[in-house]
Structure formats: C-alpha cells, structure tokens
Structure 1
Amino acid sequence: MSDQAATSTDATAPGKSHYVILDGLRGVASLTVVVFHLFEAYANNDPQQQIINHGYLAVDFFFLLSGFVVAYAYDDRWGRMTLGGFFTRRLVRLQPMVIMGSLIGAALFAFQGFSIFPNHGSASFWTVIAVMLLGCVMIPLPKSADIRGWTEIYPLNGPAWSLFYEYIANALYALGLRRLSNRALAALVAIAACATLYLAVAGPRGDLIGGWALDAAGIQIGLTRVMFPFFAGILLMRLGGLIRVRHAFAVSSLLLVVALALPRFGGKEHLWINGLYDAAAVIFLFPLIVAIGAGDKSADGVSVRIARFFGDLSYPLYITHYPLIYIYTGWVVDRKVPGAQGALLGAVVLAAAVALAYACLKLFDEPVRRWLAARLLAKRG
C-alpha cells in the first residue's frame, strides 16, 4: 500500500466554515492512490518501473491534511471539550469505515488465492474471522499472524496501517502536544522534518515507502512519516498559512497530481536523489498545496461541487479499495496478463472501487455516523 492516508476531515465546530477545497484535494489524492496501486501490479516489485511513481506520498499528504483540519476543528474547543469527547468524535468519524474495510477484506479473501500471497492457503476460516475482528478494533498483527505473507499489520486491508498511525498522532495531540506554543511546536516540526529527510535520503530504498509492518523498521517508518506532516499541518493552521489564488482547486490539484506522478529520480545508482525529492515534497511542496487549498473557502461553483463530491468519497475509497487490488494484482502477476488487457480490467476495477466506496458512504458510513453522533455526541461540547 496508507495511506493515509487515510485521513479524513472531522466535523467542524458550529459557526465554522468548511474547507471544501481541502476535502477535494483528499479526494484527488485518494483516486491517485488507487491508480498507483493498480500500476504496482506491473512494477515487478521494482520501484523504478512504477508509472505513478510517487503515489505512496499521498499518505504523507493525508497526514498533513489531517493535522490541519484537526487543529482547525479542535484547537479552540478544549475549554469545553474533554479528552473523552475528542476521542469519541474521532472514533465516530473514522472507525465505521475501518470496520467496513475489514469486513470487505474478509469477504473477498477467498478470491485471493494467488501465488504472490504465500500464506493464503494456510489460513482457516476461523483464522480469517479472528483477523477480521482484530482489524475492526485496530489491533495490529505481528508478522507471525500474517495470513497473506506481505508483512501487513492488517492483512485483510493493508491501507488501514495509516489509520493506526493517524490514531497515534491524534492521541499525542490530545494528550499533551496540543498545549505546545507555536515556537515549541515549530521546534518539534523541525526535528520531525530532519527525521523525514534522514529516512528518505539515508534509508536503503531512497524513498519514504513503508510503515505497514510490525517490526522495528516498520514502526520507525510509520512514526517518522506521521510526525512531520501531522504536526506541520497543525502549525500551518495556527500560523494562518493561507495563499489566495484564482481557481485554487484546479491549481492545487494539478500541483498534487504532478507531485505524485513524477518519475523516480536518480535511478538505482543514486537512490538518495529520489529520497531528497520525497523529503522536499513532504516538507515544502505539500504545505504549499494545502495553503493554496485552504486559501479558498468558496461555497459554490462547479469546481467546488466537484471538490465536495470527491472529498466525501475520499475516505471510503481509500479504506475499501485494496481488497479489490489484491485480486487484480494476483490475477495480473500469476497469469502474466499483457498490459493492454490489464489496463482494461484496471479501468473496471477503478470504476468498481469508486462505486463500492460511494455505496459504503451513502448506505453505511453517513447513516452510521449520524446514528452514533446523535447518541454519543449530542451532550458533548
């Protein structure tokens, strides 16, 4: 795979306007992630061959958006909101689709018996059910419990790893880091930026890929990837980092797509060059894109309506698409499917992923969140 990146916008406090353009950017990033994962089937585990080459950075972009929006929604509410109220709101916003992603992953696991998943055949029905239930409550699994063989902490729905780290970042914010002054927060962000740069440039891969394995390296990557963008997003919101340009959604979307789609730099001989690009994108370019998107709070217009639609769809798309990707990747690799045929089926998978996400949004996520909010949040500040 998360991303993610996945992240999602929380409901803002009463009286606050909504950053529709930021929602739309999250939707653009989610669509790019799906396309990135489709192309991975033809990359032969070689990042040099990936077409949407930096799509993995969408997860880091999600973390940045999440920090910005969490600070916007909650920074001024702590005098009337408890820790329990904060965590309840985040669970209501994020957890229903985490559960749905785990359910879909379990339902489609039986169709994923391909050779690229070495542990698939050894997983019993009850093992899959147990893994599904643990995924529903976000309990990460060690490699010994991986029923697929890809060292994922959530082997039924790989992208859920990024939600695990988003929850960690939210907890750090609520439990104390929200009290940091802007100067102290800037120091934390600067240290996290240095860690991001070191991981990207000095790491063995020359990129920021990783974070989904429950081992020392995976945890280091996951924490490093979330710390800078999440808390940089908070700092950006607090400092009022807004850039007003015409056609903000189109401009920021174009910048984001180009940043995620650029080819890999440096080749196999100079991996550090690509790492330098990854770090620069996360530390400098992504905050610029968010500042442009946040500079426009328009409530109407064609581009804003498009942004609103894809913003609503983004989180369900991110957290439900990967069980389809498992099937597609296994089919392409095992059967050595030619590119033209794979592209045709890939388009079908993309359409199916969007349709599945939309159905989950309208038939499950929105009604469940309304039901939970009415019962759990009505009396909270």
Structure 2
Amino acid sequence: MGASVTVYGMWKGWDSTPWENAAVIGAFGLLMLPAPPAVSLALYPYLKPAWSIAFEMLASVIYAVTARFLTNRVLLVIVIGSGVSFASTTFLPARAWGWPGLWYGLSMVIYGFFGGVMIHRLYLAGKLPRWPAWLGGIGLFAALAVPTNDVTEAPYYVFGGVVLAPLFLVCFARTQVRGVFARLCSVLGTLSYGVYVTHVPIRRILELVIAKYHLEYVPSWVFLIVVSVLASLLTVLLDRFYDRPVRRWLIARFIKRSVTANASARTHLGSGVPIRSAGQV
C-alpha cells in the first residue's frame, strides 16, 4: 500500500522521489530489508512502522540462536545494557524509524524483548510479585493521560519505557480473563498489529483525498475515526484471507514436518522401538 501511494504520487508529480530510488526501496522492502542510507534516510520509507517489525524479527532471531546460552545473569546484563542505551538514545534528536535513530530503535526493541523474557522466567520460577491487574490498569490510563511538550517528552518516554512498562506487565502477567472480555481481548490482539501497520498508508491516502477535494475543514477527530475504522476493516480482511491461510500453510509445511522428522529420528531404524534416554534406561 505504501509503495502504491508513493508511485501514484510520483506519477502525479506530487512526490519528488526519483524512479530509480523508488525501485531500490521497493526491492529492499520486499525482502523486509531497510532502504540503503544512500537512497533514503528512512529505514522503510513506504511503510515507516515496519522498522519495529524488522527489529523484533531480529530480536527473535538473536534469541533463537542464543537461548541455550542465555543464563539469567547474561540476560540481566543484556536488559540493563539495552535499558541504559534506550534511555540515553531517547534524548537524541532523531528516533526510531530513520537511519540516524537506528540505535534508539534497536535499543528499545532489545530492552523490551529481553526484558519480557526475564519477566517470563520470573513468572515460571514463581518469583514474580502478585500485583493486582486493576492497579496496572489505573496506572496505564494515568500514564497515557500525562501531557507532554518538547521539554518533557524525552524524559517521559524514558520513564514510561524503562520503568512503567515493565511494572504494568508484572501487574497484568497473572491476569486471567474469561467470557466476553476474553473474546474482546482476542479481537483486539488480532487487530493490533494489522492496524499498526496499515494505518499509515491509509492515512496517507486520506490526506491525498482531503487535499484533492479541499476537505481541510474536516475535524481531526473525524479523520481519526475514519482511519481507525478503515484500518480495522482492512486488518480483518487481511487476517481472514491472507494471514491465517499463510500461517496454516507454513505450519503444515515446516512445523509438522519438523515434528515428524524428530519422531523418526528418535526411533530405531527398522525396529519401531523408541530410543530411550540414559535416564530412562
């Protein structure tokens, strides 16, 4: 969607991006790779929210490779180091979605990902504090309601990201939801990432429509509602006709085959007798 909006703008003369740069950005984007800095200072010019998805994929790969060596002490060092880096880079003028803010985005994702791993380990070990969920809910709404300005924004982000977010997670970690509320949480969880990804190109399309038909008088809250509704509807369609079928195919193609291969490897050739570990013999 982001690429189509950009190409349409270039065709109409509204976007000054050179065609060769657009081709390079598109080719890298198809592989989920950031645009080269020589072409664009934005990591993903066509879909700027993709920066966080790319960093989260990187964090997942790092965890998959290092999980067996990731002791609690090493994990603590990673969390503290990335937290300090996140806090310090927050005060830089460029953040997150561009090459100048690369370390900010990477530090934030590493801190959040491995901080979550540490909280999960504490939960499994029974060492996580038992704080009520309502306390986290009140704190979350209060934090979201805090007004900020150019002076207080960076300190607020540091305190909210490094301190408050983990505390909220601890409050919600033991929460069990049922019935209608559980279904509501499931729906919101399904919509969350899709809305996050699609709202930017939808917003750009609506901005073009507003400019073309001189609808600048439309209130901002109406614009917000329209973007939210369209992004939610598009997410539902993508989940139904793209995401779920692709996930089913991937699971059938790789996960089940891996399970079958592992089961075969644990069986004596030709005997059908499962191989026992030393502790079972």
What band does the TM-score fall into relative to the shorter chain? Answer: 0.7 to 0.9
Query: Which residue, 277, 287, 301 being the options, matches 2:166?
Result: 287
TM-score (norm 2): 0.77
Give 1:144's aligned amino acid: A
Provide closer, same or farther for how the CA distance between residues 132 and 113 of structure 1 changes in structure 2, counting only shifts above 3 A. Answer: closer
Cα shift readout 1:13-63 (whole Å, capped 9, x = no counterpart): xxxxxxxxxxxxxxxxxxxxxxxxxxxxxxxxxxxxxxxxxxxxxxxxxxx
Percent identity between the aligned chains? 27
Aligned to 1:54: none
Asked whether the equivalents of residues 2 and 201 of structure 2 are also in contact (C-alpha less than 8 Å), the reply is yes
Aligned to 1:140: 34
CA distance in 1, matches of 2:205, 2:38: 23
Q: Does 1:213 align with 2:98?
A: yes
Indicate the larger mover: 151-160 or 251-260. 251-260
Deviation at 1:140, TM superposition (A): 0.9
CA distance in 1, matches of 2:145, 2:31: 34
Give 1:137's aligned amino acid: L
CA distance in 1, matches of 2:37, 2:73: 40
Provide closer, same or farther for how the CA distance between residues 222 and 309 of structure 1 changes in structure 2, counting only shifts above 3 A. Answer: same
Aligned to 2:143: 259
Deviation at 1:134, TM superposition (A): 2.3
Give 2:170's aligned amino acid: A
Comparing both chains, which one has the higher relative contact order based on Cα–Cα distances under 8 Å and sequence gaps of 6 or more?
Answer: 1
Give 2:257's aligned amino acid: K
Q: Does 1:347 align with 2:187?
A: no
Give 1:262's aligned amino acid: V
CA distance in 2, matches of 1:326, 1:332: 10
Greater Rg by CA: 2
Deviation at 1:295, TM superposition (A): 0.8
Deviation at 1:308, TM superposition (A): 0.7
CA distance in 2, matches of 1:114, 1:378: 46
Aligned to 1:59: none
Aligned to 2:204: 326
Aligned to 2:25: 131
Aligned to 1:198: 88
Structure 1 residues without counterparts, runs of 5 or longer = 1-103
Cα shift readout 1:329-368 (whole Å, capped 9, x = no counterpart): 5666896924x53332332122111111111111110111
Deviation at 1:188, TM superposition (A): 2.1
CA distance in 2, matches of 1:183, 1:380: 32
Deviation at 1:132, TM superposition (A): 3.1
CA distance in 1, matches of 2:141, 2:159: 15
Give 2:86's aligned amino acid: T
Asked whether the equivalents of residues 199 and 231 of structure 2 are also in contact (C-alpha less than 8 Å), the reply is yes
Query: Which residue, 104, 108, 132 being the options, matches 2:5?
Result: 108
DSSP 3-state at the match of 2:258: coil
Considering only aligned residues, what root-mean-square deviation do their CA atoms show, in Å?
A: 3.0
Aligned length: 254
Aligned to 1:311: 189
| Paired residues for 1:180-191 under 5 Å | 180-191=70-81
DSSP 3-state at the match of 1:239: helix
Cα shift readout 1:62-111 (whole Å, capped 9, x = no counterpart): xxxxxxxxxxxxxxxxxxxxxxxxxxxxxxxxxxxxxxxxxx22233345
Query: Which residue, 8, 16, 24 being the options, matches 1:121?
Result: 16
Give 1:229's aligned amino acid: G
DSSP 3-state at the match of 2:219: helix
Asked whether the equivalents of residues 169 and 230 of structure 1 are also in contact (C-alpha less than 8 Å), the reply is yes
Aligned to 2:154: 275
Deviation at 1:184, TM superposition (A): 2.4
Aligned to 1:175: 65
Cα shift readout 1:282-329 (whole Å, capped 9, x = no counterpart): 12211122122221233x222211101111111222222211122345
CA distance in 1, matches of 2:8, 2:18: 13
TM-score (norm 1): 0.59
